[in-house]
Structure 1
């Protein structure tokens, strides 16, 4: 597996490259947008990790190129952790968003999760349907009965976690780990309960009798409805 890493901080870049190679990944390291665009033209990659703030522009620009011209999965790696930047990254089509400082094991887990999704064909389709719910993954928009549902970045990410693991019961710890890098210390066991409740209120016809996000007592949660691509 060949990963394109774009990071202008030489210390972070060297550490990231070393860690990925220790995990068995091949890497190509770039520092600028110009360098990256050339690499995308000359080589074939399986996944991209883009820093957001680069010397000659923004990682958003690279995300657009990687998605529109090469249909590549993209992870943003950035020091910006406010919700506006998270939503903007998702709107650009990014598959995930991790803030610095980060745990390398968490990044590896995210990479593996994204590659499983692409292998299973979920990200090859831009529209996912669950009953009256329609998710446009290219635009990071969710609709219920044709009407736009306003989800926060964390609510949207939580929904994607369930979509990416359609047959799996997810423990609260698994969900917390997947949400950690966007929310930092503000996401804990109690606030996870709140986000599950809010998501159900927006998606479910009967939030107190959920059909989409179901509770598996003593174990966690699962996607209770089949979805269509």
Structure 2
């Protein structure tokens, strides 16, 4: 699986440490800079796939840094800042930023929006292929043996969550939170079991012996990464 490189331009050391640890655990390669001059120098040596950029820096500022980045490259930029007023958001986007995320933020949402920007800008393909299964996240379609499958909103949400965490064992509690966020109502462990069963019936060649979504007994589930051939 390809590793995507992120340049984090932020002068709050606690945010740098926590965010670097989280993004690294999610499979990204991260390098950080606290000053505009340092960040622009790293662009030439690190060659990031995406930049996370705060507006307030110890030297320089995010707006001028974004302008400098966009003058010489097409690297996507996401502003990550505590400035939440409309003027700051509009200014950031007009400077060429690809997204604007306000602090405090939810790490899982940040990762999802990073991947969305990478797909939209062409750094990441919108189509994921798992054997006979193909998921196009831009069109929102899932096909199996070239035939489109019809998934409910919750089934599709679960599948995307597995895809975004492929190769990782996800506990039942984490998956329940994902269902609850979308359903808006209380859901229990039996509900998760039902949706996993329904999803497997649609995407697996043999739901009784699943090869895509594996059960990790006593813990949860894991979406298997097909072996390279």
| TM, length-normalised to structure 1 | 0.55
Which residue matches 2:135? 135
Instruction: Give, in angstroms, the shift of residue 187 of structure 1.
Output: 2.5
The structural deviation recorded for 1:205 is: 0.6
- 1:110 paired residue number: 108
How far apart, CA to CA, are the structure 2 residues paired with 1:216 and 1:119?
32
Q: When the two structures are aligned, how many residues end up with a matched partner?
A: 151
Instruction: Give the equivalent residue in structure 2 for 1:172.
Output: 172
2:157 maps to which residue? 157
1:29 aligns with 2:85: yes
Give unmatched runs, 5+ long, in structure 1.
Answer: 4-23, 50-103
> Which gives a bigger RCO, structure 1 or 2 (Cα 8 Å, sep 6+)?
1
| Distance change (3 Å), C-alpha of 1:139 and 1:123 | farther
CA contact (8 A) 1:132 1:145 kept: yes
Q: Is the 8 A contact 1:154 1:182 kept in 2?
A: yes
2:220 paired with 1:220: yes
Distance across 2 between alignment mates of 1:227 and 1:28: 44
Describe the shift of the 1:157–1:204 C-alpha distance in structure 2 as closer, same or farther (beyond 3 A). Answer: same
The answer to whether the aligner puts 1:41 opposite 2:41 as a matched pair is no
- TM-score normalised by L of structure 2: 0.55
- How much does 1:181 deviate? 1.6
Per-residue CA deviation, residues 150-205 of structure 1 (Å, 9 max, x unaligned), is: 01111111001111111210000011112222112242211111100000000001
Quote the Cα distance in structure 1 between the aligned partners of 2:227 and 2:91. Answer: 38
Worse-matched range after superposition: 180-189 or 149-158: 180-189
Q: Write out per-residue CA displacement over residues 17-50 of structure 1, whole angstroms, 9 at most, x where no aligned residue.
A: xxxxxxx84444339xxx976652234254458x
- Rg larger in structure: 2
Give the unaligned 5+ runs of structure 2: 1-51, 55-79
Write the distance in 1 (CA, Å) between the matches of 2:227 and 2:218: 25
| Corresponding position of 2:147 | 147
Match of 1:7 in 2: none
CA RMSD of aligned residues (A): 3.5
